[in-house]
Amino acid sequence: MTNLERPKAAIIREKGSNSEREMANAMYLAGFDVKDVHMTDLISGRETLEDIQFIGAVGGFSNSDVLGSAKGWAGAFKYNEKANIALKNFFKREDTLSVGICNGAQLFMELEIINPDHEIHGKLKHNDSRKHESIFTSVKVQENNSVMLKTLAGTTLGVWVSHGEGKFNLPMSEDNYDIVAKYGYEDYPANPNGSDYNTAMLCDKTGRHLVTMPHIERSTFPWNWAYYPKDRKDEVSPWIEAFVNARLWVENKSK
């Protein structure tokens, strides 16, 4: 598959973010032509996302979390006209997908992208432990309408987490949210943050936009996992299916 045949995806990153190479690699392995987009590209107008169909907001500690996780990153979108317009135009289109992982999830929740119709918005708060948590845990993928994760419904998969503000604070009843995955069990440390409804991943009503605190992009190879079943001889872990599903959806939209 040449780059001309591959649908276009973009990594969105900010100063202090990380895991952009892992995300780019997962996208590339799944069949995307991947572009690196820094916030300065969007703020200056060098990048408009007009030809991009899939964006990934990466993990890490943008602006060193000085203002709180992703608060400064969200401000860069809110208060810079060109970046603001580029992102709003991207989400207005119906042929686009997005995933926000860890810091990227905090960004999208801060920008109120997942449930834009809610009067009271969910946010990501400090972990109940009041400290940074970095562990290998597991999540149970629920029946869901996420473009990326629908085909993995019913599975329990290992995954890495690393965050200080990963608690989904969801002020409405559970039926108001499209919860894609929950932690393996509700208690600490499997749920490392105390999220409402044991939430690990959410999507919007269309299923096109996903936020996940667990780092699926850091868990794409069996050797990434702290434990992997002996009887499986996989070259890649099941998490790569999420990115393949994204590519298949985009290709279908382009027909």
The residues, any chain, with a CB within 8 Å of residue 162's CB and separated by 6 or more, are 59, 102, 132, 133, 134, 215
CA 126 and chain centroid, separation? 18
**Residue 217 catalytic?**
yes
Active-site option among 126, 209, 215, 241: 215
Using DSSP, state whether 176 is helix, strand or coil: helix
Q: What is the DSSP letter of 215?
A: B
Q: Which of 14, 102, 165, 241 is catalytic?
A: 102
User: Running DSSP on this structure, what letter comes out for residue 70?
Assistant: T
The residue assigned the tokens 């992208």 is 113
The Cα–Cα gap between 57 and 49 comes to: 13
Residue 126 annotated in active site: no
Question: In this structure, are residues 245 and 235 in contact, taking their beta carbons and an 8 Å threshold?
Answer: no
Answer yes or no: 203 catalytic.
no
Give the residue from 51, 169, 188, 154 showing the smallest Cα distance to 105.
169
Q: Give the span between the Cα atoms of 33 and 247, in whole angstroms.
A: 10
Just list the catalytic residues: 102, 215, 217
